[in-house]
Chains A and B, each alone.
Chain A
């Protein structure tokens, strides 16, 4: 493999990893607070892709992007209020089944409304500028994705570690009951988590779909599952973990294909999930649960 081919693969890998990381954060944050795997997260990501198609049909991109992000946030919060909040005191399994239900609902709703024919994702002109240096060729979005991911994650870490809202989130994630007693509005804190998760999924969707150009009702399912694996790999509940997990999976997948093992690239991701659960169930950066009885 020549140096330029290697560089091209590496670029593809970190770009893919960046998009995965943004989605994985959504999984990890919701898990951190609610102990719930939000299976609908991948589908929120997919619907966000459709939002962009409709927004770009009537507005220029600088208006369309905020509309899409707002729409995605709204969708995330509505799902939380409608499908998860009423089940807050139910067993955890019920909420998870509800999440799976929402996931299928969104997929089938999208099939019903937009048909299963893949729809072309609108092009945001400046993101598609193609750069060439040496043997490497990439569009701006490929270069921007990992950078934007890192910037967003740093901002998010600041939010969580240095603001009141962040403190509330950490408190709720440690102990919901106690934080309620301390006067934290648990429901609005949870809503805020969904706002952040959906916002990042919205940003991820713009980057991911601009690079991959088509949206269809199932385009959120496989990336969703992979990002879930990324979150588990990094240690579910840990934000830096989810980001590292996303990058690891993105890069590994790309290089597996590059070495001619394209057959195994998906299998590898899920094998990784099994191995990490067996060897280190808390993930790379997860804290060991200290359940006091």
Chain B
């Protein structure tokens, strides 16, 4: 009897482990945003309030877009999650598109001026909703699509756009499958693994020769970055002295860090979630590991500094898509100035942006996406989806986040990423790193 009960319990406990694992995963993927505060809140089950806020913002975006309609109109779809798990990031992107549309309301085809009207739909961060929303954009007669935040929805909607032969350009969806699985999908951001190469280049430039790598088992983001880092760093002539892996939900890294300490690494590359980061940092310092931490864009988040204490995070470096403090590019400077003014002109825009006027990478990427689409329409001299797609393949557009050209796959060919360092308890722009 007792044995039977115990085995029943065992099954239940395993089931419970699986379920709780899933919950955690959702919380973690959501953390993969550049400016996660708002998004994480949405995912955290506080969805109600955020939904209300984002819905309001969505409505605003739509009405603004509609006032520009006239006879010679080209519709561009904005396919973003305005509500749900990724609502925060989606709204930030949609705002970037709205601003871009205000800056460049028309395109010229064969001497005729056409007004661009944004058609904003909400894919609700849901893969099923995403297909419905995509179908609506297709039936509305959009010639090109911007978005979406969250690779899952982009992958789900890809076939719909491909069937209708409408090109779509993602802003921040980093999963390789978005473009590799769909001929009509492009993207303007770099892929996750690229950051691994960038950080390897950075580490090498800094003069590190022995680096330890810590990555999360079964997490594509983490292992992807780690593998590219190891490959590039070894190519450059550095040595990865130890590679340690940890599991989702793990909170005790002492054993791993003891190994890192024993390996004599000069720096630690540990692409992982924001949940893991403060634990790693604090436990490392406690064990007397003094090597600086390096990571990808997920670590570009102030909650890490708050949780791990500023003293411990001093000198931590991470790569990111965009930094508003970068003054090396005139387009960027103008965009930052203009967008901040635009945000501050209306308090609801500030609220949708996450309560302040700092510009996240998603917004900048979405601004670029809009301009790439305009350039492509002008280059194609037509509103035909097939023609725009062909034009996109040969385009070279000077954007806020660097020069954008697409490879055969539809991925942006970028060679530059931004590196930020923690100084006095805040992220500070360090430099841009270009991979040879």
Q: What is the interface of chain A, defined by CB distance below 8 A to chain B? A: 1-2, 5, 8-9, 12-13, 16, 35, 37, 39, 92-93, 96, 100, 103, 107-108, 111-112, 115-120, 128, 130, 132, 137-139, 211-214, 216, 218-219, 221-222, 225, 228, 232, 236, 253-255, 257-258, 260, 262-263, 265-266, 270, 273-274, 277, 281, 289, 291
Contact = CB atoms under 8 A, between A and B. Distances in A.
Interface stretch (B4-12, B205-213, B292-300): B4-12
A55 to B, nearest CB: 18
Contact of A277 (B7, B20, B255, B258): B7
B44 A117 contact: yes
9 contacts: A5-B261, A214-B279, A216-B275, A253-B255, A254-B254, A258-B258, A263-B217, A277-B6, A277-B7
Interface string B1-41: 11101111110111011001001100100000000000011
Interface string B254-268: 111011011000000
Nearest to A93: B8
A130 B306 CA distance: 21
A263 B245 contact: yes
A216 B25 CA distance: 13
Contacts of A262: 217, 244-247, 255-256
Contact of A108 (B9, B45, B245): B45
- Provide the main secondary structure of the chain B interface: helix
Interface string B41-62: 1011110000000000000000
B249 interface: yes
A137 B14 CA distance: 36
Contact of B9 (A1, A37, A117, A213): A37
B78 interface: no
Contacts of B8: 93
B331 interface: no
Interface stretch (B127-135, B281-289, B364-372): B281-289
B43 A213 contact: no
Nearest to A264: B247
Given A107-B20, A253-B255, 12 more contacts: A5-B261, A39-B13, A111-B45, A117-B44, A117-B274, A137-B287, A137-B288, A216-B275, A218-B23, A236-B6, A262-B255, A289-B1
Contacts of B41: 115, 117
A112 B46 contact: yes
Please give me the 6 A-B residue pairs with the lowest Cβ-Cβ distance, nearest first: A115-B44, A257-B255, A137-B288, A116-B44, A221-B20, A120-B307
Nearest to B37: A117
Contacts of A107: 20, 23
Given A118-B275, A120-B278, A225 B254 contact: no
A9 B255 contact: yes
Contacts of A213: 278-279, 282-283, 307-308
A291 B247 CA distance: 42
Contacts of B45: 108, 111-112, 115-116
B243 to A, nearest CB: 9
Contact of A257 (B16, B256, B278): B256
A233 B426 CA distance: 47
Chain B, interface residues (CB within 8 Å), range: 35 or more
Contacts of A37: 9, 13
B16 A103 contact: yes
Given A112-B46, A214-B251, A266-B247, A117 B303 contact: yes
- Provide the main secondary structure of the chain A interface: helix
Contact of A12 (B27, B246, B251, B255): B255
Contacts of A120: 278, 306-308
B154 to A, nearest CB: 24
Interface of B: 1-3, 5-10, 12-14, 16-17, 20, 23-24, 27, 40-41, 43-46, 217, 244-247, 249-252, 254-256, 258-259, 261-262, 274-275, 278-279, 282-283, 286-288, 303, 306-308
B272 to A, nearest CB: 12
Contacts of A117: 40-41, 44, 274, 303
B18 to A, nearest CB: 11
Contacts of A263: 217, 245, 247
B40 A115 contact: yes
Contacts of B244: 257, 262
A274 B16 contact: no
Contacts of A266: 247, 250
A63 B377 CA distance: 68
A61 B391 CA distance: 65
Contacts of A254: 254-255
Contacts of B252: 12, 16, 211-212
Contacts of A225: 13, 16-17
B288 A116 contact: no
Contacts of B46: 112, 115
B40 A212 contact: no
B10 A277 contact: yes
Contact of B27 (A216, A221, A273): A216
Which of A39, A130, A214, A260 gathers most chain B CB within 10 Å?
A214
B258 A8 contact: yes
Contacts of B275: 118, 214, 216
Contacts of B14: 270
Contacts of B6: 232, 236, 277, 281
Contacts of A92: 5
A112 B43 CA distance: 10
A12 to B, nearest CB: 4
Contacts of A270: 14, 17
Nearest to A283: B6
Contacts of B255: 9, 12-13, 253-255, 257-258, 262
A281 B306 contact: no
B173 to A, nearest CB: 22
Contact of A222 (B20, B246, B306): B20
A244 to B, nearest CB: 19
Contact of B307 (A118, A221, A236, A257): A118
Given A96-B9, A100-B12, A289-B2, A265 B247 contact: yes
Nearest to B23: A218
A281 B5 CA distance: 11
B278 A214 contact: yes
A179 B238 CA distance: 71
A256 to B, nearest CB: 8
